[in-house]
Amino acid sequence: MIPTSHYLFLSLGLFTIGVIGVVTRRNVIIILMSIELMLNAVNINLVAFSRLVGSAEGHVFAIFVITDAAAEAAVGLGIIIAFFRNRETLLGDEMDLLKW
Amino acid sequence: MLDQIVFYFFAALAVISALLVVTRRNVVQSAIFLITALLATAGIFLQLHAEFLFIVQVILYAGGIMVLFVFVIMLINLDVSIHQVQFNRQWWLGLLLALVLGAQLILAVALGRSGLPLGEPAPATALEPSTQLVGRVLFNEYMLPFEIASILLLVAMIGAVVMAKKKV
């Protein structure tokens, strides 16, 4: 039997890797992928606690998180395509239209 | 014993491929390793007796969202971005802050472990007809959030179409 804290450590490891990807990479597509990794780490947490308590509510919340991830990926990739069409770049630090 | 082998195998696979996702230069390689990480997570869901989530993860994440990613990578020309500097100018500061966050999370789990009843999990039969239980909870207590999620998906669909259109 694996203790629940091991799932928590796995989940926080994946989350931290996702944060590292978001704050250090320049490519916007990889930043979006890192956000997917972070959402995924949250799902592991929810399902592990659901297994611990023996109720299915964590699974339901994980389904909501997956729905959110799908919506976010669709809108985010749409924005990336629109931005690439206008500015010919994929770099996050060159997206400074609002910066004076 | 088999339980532990499965868990640690999938955990190591997930962590290694997540590390490769954030360090690869080529976006396509990152996407492939992200698929591996998501499938490893699906394996952990299966090991946690969440069969419905396992299949949702495989179909929706590894099937749907990743196809979207690969399509966008295909639409965007790759040759330019592969020769650019891949990390921010202040990447060391970001890395430091992310590691501090990770250390805080480790500290929180390690300290809070004694306070929470993390020891004895419920028996495996408590979640036995997994799909049936999920459906029952989803359509009884969480009916309204379910409907709101469908509206969210509709809004996201319209938003994606409007964003990716040629002329707004």
Looking up tokens 């990770």 gives B102
**A27 touching B, CB under 8 A?**
yes
Task: Give pTM, 2 decimals.
Answer: 0.90
The beta-carbon neighbor of B156 closest among A12, A23, A74 is: A74
pLDDT at A47: 92
Alpha carbon distance A51, B84 (integer Å): 45
What ipTM was estimated for this complex?
0.91
Interval B74-108: pLDDT, tens = 888 767 777 777 787 888 898 999 999 999 999 98
Return averaged pLDDT per consecutive 10 residues of chain A, 100 residues in all. 86 94 90 93 92 86 92 90 82 78
Q: Domain ranges in chain B?
A: 1-82, 129-168
**A87 touching B, CB under 8 A?**
no
Q: What is the architecture of the domain spanning B1-82?
A: Up-down Bundle (1.20)
Interval B116-148: pLDDT, tens = 665 666 676 667 788 888 889 899 999 999 999
CA angle in degrees (0–180, nearest 5) for B138-B141-B144 = 80
Alpha carbon distance B44, B41 (integer Å): 5
Class of the CATH-defined domain A4-91: mainly alpha
Q: Domain ranges in chain A?
A: 4-91
